[in-house]
Each structure stands twice: as structure tokens, then as C-alpha cells.
A = this chain, B = another copy of it.
């Protein structure tokens, strides 16, 4: 199961938009703009211009501006949950599973879906409370993947700290890479970065 196969499957189930469709292109441009300028500073006119239509025409596809933000977040979580699940399943030992989770999340944050992942972290408060609850429910599935592996590592005495806290630390640490990690500079690859994180935990 390659990454593109997972994406294809999700598109077929209508869980994420085809990147080549009008909707998919808009969501990608929206993620980029939201990350670069922030949700509030991005106007519907900016969004429309990015895909070459009039601002009013946006509301034929989405009822409100917020609905666009929510769609970016929901589709990103869906895709990344599937990618993580696949990565965990493919790994052998628990230590390898953790490495796969770290590596996959780094790739989500710093790769293709990076813009959308940054939006997920930094534009959270721009969602209405109702939408926050919806997105939160999706995140729970995603988080269970991590906790299962971390708890197993703790039981075996490999990990010395509380799994819940370790996961929260990793969430912050990995999210933050988006602000400084530039693969082209310094020659540090994603694999190298993953190694450093494992080494930091003496794992």
C-alpha cells in the first residue's frame, strides 16, 4: 500500500477531494494562504484570486469562509490518519513502530500536506466551537495509534516517562519543526531528523 494508493482509496470513498478537482485545488491554495498569512488575514478575494475566479463564486462551493478552513482540516486529518495506520502496520517491533510514527508525522508536517498541517496547528482557534468538536473527534482516532505504541514501550521498560505526556511533548516538538526545518539547508534529511529525535529519547 503506497502513499498514492492510500490517497486514491480515500478519494474513491469521497473522504478527501481529488487534488485535480476544482474543490481540491481550492483547498490546497487555501491551506497555503492560511499558513502564509493566517486565516483572518486571508480574504475571500485572496482565495478566489488564487484559483482564478470571482470572490462571490466561492460561495457556490462553500457556504461560508469557515467551511473552507474546516474542510482543509478534516481532509488533512483523514489522509494522515490513514498514512499513519499504514506505517504502523508495516513496522515490526514497537521501537520501529514509534520510529515509523515519528517519521510519518514529520513527513506530513514538512512534505506535501505541510501547509495544511500547519493550518491545523496554528489556526485552530479560528474554527467555531462546533467545528472544533467535529475535528477533535477525528483526532482521537489518530492519537490512539500513538498511545498504543507508547504504552507498549513503557510496559517493556524502554520508555521512562508517562505515555500521554510523551505524546504531548512529541506533538509540540514535531509540529514546531514546520517553523525551522528546511531540508534544502544544512543537509539534514527527514530520516536524519527522525534519528535525532529517537537519539534524544535514547531510543
Contacts and interface: CB of A to CB of B under 8 A. Distances in A.
A160 B38 contact: no
B162 A168 contact: no
Interface in A114-128: 122, 125-126
Contact of A172 (B40, B41, B173, B196): B173
B173 A177 contact: no
A166 interface: yes
A62 interface: no
Do most interface residues of chain A lie in helix, strand or loop, or is the interface mixed?
helix
Contact of A165 (B168, B171, B175, B193): B193
A89 B175 CA distance: 31
A160 B168 CA distance: 22
The oligomer's copy count stands at 2
A137 interface: no
A15 interface: no
A100 to B, nearest CB: 18
Interface in A99-152: 122, 125-126
A196 B40 contact: no
Contacts of A160: 199-200, 202
Contact of A175 (B161, B176, B196): B176
A38 B126 contact: yes
Interface string A181-203: 00000000000010011011110
Nearest to A35: B125
